[in-house]
Amino acid sequence: MTKPTTRIGTPLPDNSRFLMRGKDVLGDIMGKMTFTETFFFIVCGREPTPDEVRIFDAALIILIDHGITPHALVSRLVENAVPTDIQVSVAAGLLLVGNRFAGTMAGCGQILSDCMAQDGDKREFLEAKVAELRADNKFVPGFGHPYYKPEDPRATRLFEIARENSVKGEFIELVHVLGEEVDKAMGKHLTMNVTGGLAAVLSEISFPVEVMRSCSVIGRAAGLVAHVYEEKTNPIVGDVMDFAYGVEYLEP
Amino acid sequence: MTKPTTRIGTPLPDNSRFLMRGKDVLGDIMGKMTFTETFFFIVCGREPTPDEVRIFDAALIILIDHGITPHALVSRLVENAVPTDIQVSVAAGLLLVGNRFAGTMAGCGQILSDCMAQDGDKREFLEAKVAELRADNKFVPGFGHPYYKPEDPRATRLFEIARENSVKGEFIELVHVLGEEVDKAMGKHLTMNVTGGLAAVLSEISFPVEVMRSCSVIGRAAGLVAHVYEEKTNPIVGDVMDFAYGVEYLEP
Amino acid sequence: MTKPTTRIGTPLPDNSRFLMRGKDVLGDIMGKMTFTETFFFIVCGREPTPDEVRIFDAALIILIDHGITPHALVSRLVENAVPTDIQVSVAAGLLLVGNRFAGTMAGCGQILSDCMAQDGDKREFLEAKVAELRADNKFVPGFGHPYYKPEDPRATRLFEIARENSVKGEFIELVHVLGEEVDKAMGKHLTMNVTGGLAAVLSEISFPVEVMRSCSVIGRAAGLVAHVYEEKTNPIVGDVMDFAYGVEYLEP
Amino acid sequence: MTKPTTRIGTPLPDNSRFLMRGKDVLGDIMGKMTFTETFFFIVCGREPTPDEVRIFDAALIILIDHGITPHALVSRLVENAVPTDIQVSVAAGLLLVGNRFAGTMAGCGQILSDCMAQDGDKREFLEAKVAELRADNKFVPGFGHPYYKPEDPRATRLFEIARENSVKGEFIELVHVLGEEVDKAMGKHLTMNVTGGLAAVLSEISFPVEVMRSCSVIGRAAGLVAHVYEEKTNPIVGDVMDFAYGVEYLEP
């Protein structure tokens, strides 16, 4: 058995140095790199270019908040129960970043990545993929939105920022081909939503598909902190619980 | 009963605008502000100055990683069990950011904040606070470290970056007075650790005490993403479990 | 360093036997013991008496459900987001079992246990403890309730079941002395609530103070399963979110 | 919009009565029903028969513990970080009860349920289902085990207890047909594991497929309490972390 290893950082008991992927944290990272650069660096193992940083910042920001979402409501309810432990409130809210809300960029990114990795015709690959998902009664991840129609302005803005920052554009093109195949298969137009946009844009900067959903996780975590803080001084949980207590109990 | 309100962002079904604390997210924030600026803005309700941003970036970075911590190990174990749900792995790891590991800046920040808010002599206030904690057999939050002695280089570096970026310095001064009172009460020197440093530095930029611990939460979340990603290709959980299975079962 | 050990059960790779605290799980426990007996046995390391089992069953049942609590609402919101992962919904709801809701029996049990362990007069000890908590602006755990007055019928019923099942009664007596001291200190009557009752009753059957709160955790977990299941067919989350979306956004 | 309703229990502010699915909790449930009966009752809305109770007890017990599992290790690591909050330790450990460990009975139960609900030949349905899963490179849930071969004694014991308690036996028969089809498709024998056994046995007593995984959740939660308690007095986390700190850091 080979000894287990890590390339992320020095193990704890190392006093003389404090390294992250070969860089001295105190001297080379703190005071020199932003959080966004460091997050990209620790995950990907390479420093992002200034263009990539601007795109990554936009990707992290776009899902920070969307009002009183189910995530925010959960974090606020937990804050009300354990007000001294913000890590518990934030963790609880993050558990909702799944396949339904704000977590679908991973599925879409995987399709784009698989398409790029194969040798055949790209459109045919995507057409077949859409057919396969529909046969399994599954949604195509990254498409559809309850009220952003015909476009999700967040996806549009992400593409704009990506193009302003010199992306090659092949994944953005690909996700649009995917959208065309979705529309063709459905016989009507489906909105490419923000997670479809994120899948393409994060692929452009080589943020790995396997952890793509983490952009929602980190972004949304920041927004949940704001909700927890607001709940402490301008609470909504009391009203929500008044509403919940009004749910009528029916006898069997 | 007054209608519940929020000042954070527009509620979901609002199609025509997408606002965060009065700013248009797509036009005024995305592509213009960094994640760090936006996180500060959504929590505090005001834009940080460029000096404050550099300090806040350093504060978010300092706790991103410290090798294979208990937090990282938990996230890796959960990743191994539910590999498609990175939000669950990250949330589980964040549950360890409590009073023991990486979460004590809130307690220290509260002492500093209470000290500033009172009218009496600051040193006397801190001396009394230290005495009170010791009488209750409690640690003074922000002090003590198993192997960083006599100084925690992370705290030192935080103060350096704060000073390079024009802080007023009153909270940094105060936490040092607190450290002197700790040493006096203990009859020996205790290291002011990174959370003591963070408490002072985050107070300098007015990041609210009530949610101060969220800097560890967001920072560490980023590092946990790297550990989850590494676990997928260069795992350590197998070795950890081999070790755990070696724990001997004793009959009653 | 001594080799780490456990007395709970055989480590995983042991094929020939499957033991829990010295008993064969398949032959001596399954089909012979109830879940309640097994839970007590695995935690305490001894089999409960039939009297103790009846009391422990009542203690586990009393906190299973209380309508649409904040816990239930959180589990339902998470169910709506990740419907295939009931463990995530239940875990999220359990995070609310803290010092505020349904988790205070541990604090009350600790006071009772400390009182029993000391040599002095019991009433004087409790009087001093109440004074100490009030000086720190803290509630006495186990006392006070928003609408069960002057008695919490759940506590009353717990004592009744305990007495019907031959407890010695010294902790039940003690918690009533504590209640008298609370009333004296407050100058008015405070309800001894269900967690005060649980603290006494669980102490009577020697369920350890250190993990006393786990009775709420296991009990409530069962109730949350019912809420998750009901949410799948008769949902309330849609209505709750309609209410939440009605929270008004105020400009800065 | 119809008013939201629940059939589980009375809403919180109801002082005069405390009902669960039509029964008075204090008078009809506490002191009369066991935890296992009450859990079945609150989820299914009907009281189980004595035979069903014995089977349900066995189903809850079988997954309580399996030594130092990844779940137990996570709960112990979290206990070490937040020792006063057992609900957090237990919740973290439960997050691992997913598709990989201890959570697969839901998938297997769904196959059995779908098979029963259709009109065609049962064996042909199962043969086709196995083929479909294999075509998608997926495991058949409930089959395969690293070291229980050729049988998982836990599944065998579950069937025995079910038969001793008068089940009709149609789901147990069906899961064995499924096993035959698995073996045929694989060209070798795969162990029907404990989750396959649970899927059949829980179906026999009509515990709903949609929340079947909750039996692992509740059962394992009880075992995790024992691990958290043992960690407080006979810890293993120190040794585990010593091992983890020995993970070698490699430069890029």
Q: Are residues A240 and C243, on separate chains, in Cβ contact within 8 Å?
A: yes
Compare all CA atoms of chain A with the CA of C244 and give the residue at the minimum distance. Answer: A68
Strands A23-24 and A19-20: antiparallel
Strand partners, C9: C20
Q: Are residues A61 and B35, on separate chains, in Cβ contact within 8 Å?
A: yes
Cβ-proximal residues to B238 (8 Å cutoff; 6+ apart), any chain: none
Compare all CA atoms of chain A with the CA of C79 and give the residue at the minimum distance. Answer: A96
Residues A53-79 pLDDT 10s: 999 999 999 999 999 999 999 999 999
Does the pLDDT value for residue D12 go beyond 70?
no
Q: Which residue, A42, C20, A52, D102, is CA-closest to B249?
A: C20
Q: Are residues A95 and B91, on separate chains, in Cβ contact within 8 Å?
A: yes
What CA–CA distances, in Å, run from A209 to A106, A108, A169, A213? 6, 9, 17, 8
CB pairs under 8 A between A and D: 70
Does the pLDDT value for residue D1 go beyond 60?
no
Q: How many CB atoms lie within 10 A of CB B138?
A: 10
Chain A: give the shortest CA distance to residue C243, in Å. 7
What CA–CA distances, in Å, run from C93 to C101, C186, D11? 11, 33, 17
Compare all CA atoms of chain A with the CA of C87 and give the residue at the minimum distance. Answer: A95
* Separation CA C214–CA D222 (nearest Å): 8
Residue identified by tokens 């040493």 is: B183
* Separation CA A66–CA B197 (nearest Å): 33
Which residue in the set D13, D245, D252 is minimally distant from A11, CB to CB? D245
- Kindly write down the DSSP assignment for every residue of B122-170, as one continuous string: HHHHHHHHHHHHHHTT-PPTTB--SS--S--HHHHHHHHHHHHTT---H
* Separation CA B185–CA A53 (nearest Å): 48
Q: What is the pLDDT of residue C112?
A: 98
Q: What is the pLDDT of residue D104?
A: 83
Residues B41-88 pLDDT 10s: 999 999 999 999 999 999 999 999 999 999 999 999 999 999 999 999
User: pTM of the prediction?
Assistant: 0.97
Alpha carbon C160 to its chain centroid, in Å, reads 18
On whether any CB of chain C is under 8 Å from the CB of B3, the answer is: yes
Q: Are residues C243 and A247, on separate chains, in Cβ contact within 8 Å?
A: no
Alpha carbon A105 to its chain centroid, in Å, reads 6
Cβ-proximal residues to B208 (8 Å cutoff; 6+ apart), any chain: A229, B43, B44
On whether any CB of chain A is under 8 Å from the CB of D83, the answer is: no
Q: Which residue, C175, C179, C177, C170, is CA-closest to C205?
A: C170
* Separation CA D145–CA D150 (nearest Å): 9
Q: How would you class B223 by CB atoms within 10 Å of its CB: exposed for 0-12, middle for 13-18, buried for 19 or more? A: buried
**DSSP letter assigned to residue C25:** I
Residues A142-170 pLDDT 10s: 999 988 899 999 999 999 999 999 999 99
Residue type, B115: C
Given a cut of 70, the residues of chain C with pLDDT beneath it are 1, 12-16
On whether any CB of chain A is under 8 Å from the CB of C77, the answer is: yes
Chain B: give the shortest CA distance to residue C169, in Å. 29
Q: Are residues D42 and C226, on separate chains, in Cβ contact within 8 Å?
A: yes
Which residue in the set A10, A19, A250 is minimally distant from D5, CB to CB? A250
Compare all CA atoms of chain C with the CA of A79 and give the residue at the minimum distance. Answer: C96
Rg (CA), chain B: 21
On whether any CB of chain D is under 8 Å from the CB of C5, the answer is: yes
On whether any CB of chain A is under 8 Å from the CB of B28, the answer is: no
* Separation CA D247–CA B240 (nearest Å): 10
Q: Which residue, D64, D41, D59, D65, is CA-closest to D161?
A: D59
Q: What is the pLDDT of residue C11?
A: 73
Chain C: give the shortest CA distance to residue A121, in Å. 35
On whether any CB of chain C is under 8 Å from the CB of B67, the answer is: no
Q: What is the pLDDT of residue C15?
A: 62
- Chain B residues in contact with C10 by the CB 8 A cut-off are 249
Which residue in the set A77, A97, A247 is minimally distant from C70, CB to CB? A77
Residues C176-205 pLDDT 10s: 999 999 999 999 999 999 999 999 999 999
Cα dihedral across residues C166, C167, C172, C173: positive or negative: positive
Residue D11 · residue C227 · CB < 8 Å: no
* Separation CA A67–CA D122 (nearest Å): 49
What CA–CA distances, in Å, run from B124 to A41, A42, B129, B130, B178? 45, 44, 9, 10, 10
Q: How many CB atoms lie within 10 A of CB D218?
A: 25
